[in-house]
Structures are given as C-alpha cells and as structure tokens.
Amino acid sequence: MSQFYEGMAEILDVDVTDIDPGYELGEAWDSLAIVSTIALIDEVYDRSVSPDALGQCTTVGEVEALATAAA
C-alpha cells in the first residue's frame, strides 16, 4: 500500500485495507481532515493544494487525482 493511502487511512480513521480510489470521504471529511491531507500531499508529493479544491473532493481517488495533477 502506498504512503498516500496509508496516510489517508490514518486521517479518515479506517483500516488501510478499506482505502481505495472509490472510498467515499463522507462525514469524516471535515476541516481537520482537509488540513491533515494538505500536509500529507506536501509530504508525499512535495506540492501544495488548495483547501477549497480538496473540500470539493468526495472520494479518495479524487483527492489522489488532485494531488498528482500537473501543476
């Protein structure tokens, strides 16, 4: 499992085996989770993303696509 998925599992407080691109962020996707994900993306991908853009994401796959999109 990648460092990104392991980090997302920790942020969303679920088992890492539950995390995949289709995992719905749901109610766990609050402001603290978004801030933590900004830090995770910076650590894993060495780039920053907008909190507003992250707030629009509904799945882990959307977060990953935003994190890996060309700057």
Give me the residue spans of the domains in the chain.
3-68
Query: Over 80: is that where the pLDDT of 71 sits?
Result: no
pTM: 0.92
pLDDT category of residue 69 using cuts at 50, 70 and 90 = confident
Per-residue pLDDT tens over the stretch 1-14:
699 999 999 999 99
Question: In sequence order, what are the residues at sequence separation of 6 or more whose Cβ sits closer than 8 angstroms to the Cβ of residue 6?
Answer: 16
Helices (H), 13-59: 31-45, 51-55
- Tokens encoding 66: 């935003």
- Tokens encoding 40: 């995770």
CATH number of 3-68: 1.10.1200.10
